[in-house]
Amino acid sequence: MNIAVAGTGYVGLVAGVCFAEVGHTVTCVDVDEKKVKLMESGVSPIYEEGLEELMKKNNATGRLKYTTDYASAYAGADAIFIGVGTPEMPDGSANLSFIATVCRQIAESVVHDCLVVVKSTVPVGTNDKVEQFIKDFLDKDVKVEVASNPEFLAQGTAVHDTLHAARIIIGTESKEAETKLMEIYEPFHLPIVSVKRRSAEMIKYACNDFLALKISYMNDIANLCELVGADIEDVAKGMSYDKRIGERFLNAGIGFGGSCFPKDTKALKFLAKQNGYELKTVEACVDVNTRQKTRLYEKAKDRMITFDGLKVAVLGLTFKAGTDDLREAPSSDNIKLLLEQGADIYAFDPAGVPRAKLQFPEGEIGRGRMNYVASPEEALDQANICFVFTEWPEIKSIRPADYKRLMKIPLVYDGRNLYSTEEMREEKVEYYSIGR
C-alpha cells in the first residue's frame, strides 16, 4: 500500500521505517530540507537502536523515501499517518497546532479517497475534530475518513516495540476504515484490538498514566522505606512474584521523564478538569514525580555546606539509557539547581551531550560552570561529589573501587540504585541511593 507519514520524529520516522520494512511503499514528510537530506543519506536524526540499519536497507529498495513536498506525497497516498508532535501547553493541555497544519495540507492536497490515521497522542475527541477540519478545507470531491492508531513504543526500543508490539490499537467509525487499517497491519502478524476512535484515544492515555502511576507509587514507597529501615529492592522483588502486579516498572529512582509520561499525565489531568472531574490518582502521580526528581539534590544540600566551587561529576544526562532525549530528564532539574549554587559540573553521557549543550552551553552559566567530558572517569577525577542520573552501561561498569580511587571525596548520590550498598560501604564510599 502507498503510505505517507507526516512528521519524522520518534513516532513518525519509526512508523514509516517499519511500514517500509514489512513491504509498504512509504514517503516520510518533513518541513526541514536539511533533515530530509540527512535521512536520504541513511542517517537518522534521532538516536534509536536499529533505526539507521532499517533506513539504509529500505532506502536502497526504494520502498522508503523522504520529502518536503507534502502535496505530492499526500496526493498519491492510500493512507496518511500523522505523527507530528503535540507538545505540552503551560496549562497542561496538548498543543494541536502541528496537527491542524498537517490536516489543512492534507485537505488541500488529496485527489482521491483516502484514510487519515492519527498516531500522535491527542486528547479524547481530537479525531472527531480532525475529520471535520479536513472536510471543512477539502478542495476536491473526495471521501476522507479519519482513524486513531496510538503508538506504544518506548524510546530506546522503538523499532522492536513497533515490529513486535504486544498489540496494535485501532479506532475507527466505519467498517471501511477498519478494513483498510487491518490490511495495512496484516504483514506485522500482531494482535489487533479494534475499538471506536474515542476509546482508542483513551487507551493511550490510560496505559501511559497507569505506568506513570506505578513508577510514582514505587518511588513513594521507596521514600517511606528509607524512613522505616526497609529496602525497596527487597520490597520490589517480593511484589514482582504477584502476577496481578507484574515485575516491570517496579524500580525506584529519581522519577520519570521523556516525551510521554510527564506530558500525558498532565494532559489527562487537564482533560478531566475540563469535564468537571478530578483525577486524584493522576494528580498525586504528577506531584510525587515532581518532588522525586530533586530528592537527591536535597539530600546532598543537607550534607554539604555549599556547592560553590566544588567539582561535581554528573553521570548521565538523558532521561533513560538508549536515547538522546533530555525532555523532562531529572538531570536537567538538578543541573539547573547545582549551577545556581555555583557548582563546577563535569558531565558525561554517551548520547545526550549535543542536546544538553542546547540547554546548558559549555562554559560559565550564572554562578557555576558547565563542562562536558568523554568518559565517566574524566568526570570523576578529583570530583568532590557525584550524581548518577542515567543507567547507561558505561556508567554501570564503573565499580565502587573506582569512585574511591578517582574522586577527591568519594561521595556518591545514585538515582538509579546501580550499586550494592554493601560494596560501597566496603570500599569506604559514602553512598546515597533511593529507598535503601
d(CA 403, CA 410): 6
Which CATH number is 255's domain given? 1.10.1040.10
Residues 300 and 287 in one domain: no
Cα separations in angstroms, 403 against 39, 347, 361, 421: 41, 15, 27, 13
Reading the block at residue 7, the C-alpha cell is 512528521
pLDDT in tens, 37-61: 999 999 999 999 999 999 999 999 9
The reply to whether 322 and 382 lie within a common domain is yes
Verify that 311 and 349 share a domain, yes or no.
yes
Rounded distance between C-alpha atoms, residue 23 and residue 122, angstroms: 28
pLDDT of residue 259: 85
What is the average pLDDT score of the chain? 96
**Does 207 share its domain with 165?**
no
Q: Which one of 268, 292, 316 terminates a domain?
A: 292
Read off the pLDDT band of 92 (50, 70, 90): confident
Q: Check pLDDT > 90 for residue 266.
A: yes
Both 228 and 167 in a single domain?
no
Domain limits at 129? 2-195
Query: What is the average pLDDT across 108-112?
Result: 95
| pLDDT for 144 beyond 90 | yes
How many domains is the chain partitioned into structurally?
Answer: 3
Give the position of cell 492536497. 109
Model's pTM, two decimal places? 0.92
Q: Based on the domain organization, do 280 and 329 belong to the same domain?
A: no
- Exposed/middle/buried for residue 320 (C-beta within 10 Å: 0-12, 13-18, 19+): buried
- The residues annotated with a catalytic role in the active site are 260
- The b-or-e profile of 177-201 (16+ CB within 10 A means b, else e) is bbebbeebbeebeeeeebbebbebb
Burial of 50 (0-12, 13-18, 19+ CB in 10 A): middle
Mean pLDDT of 334-344: 98
Whether 334 and 235 map to the same domain: the answer is no
Residue 324 pLDDT: 94
Are 317 and 382 within one domain?
yes
User: Quick one: pLDDT at residue 309?
Assistant: 96
Co-location of 317 and 271 in the same domain: no
CATH code for position 139: 3.40.50.720
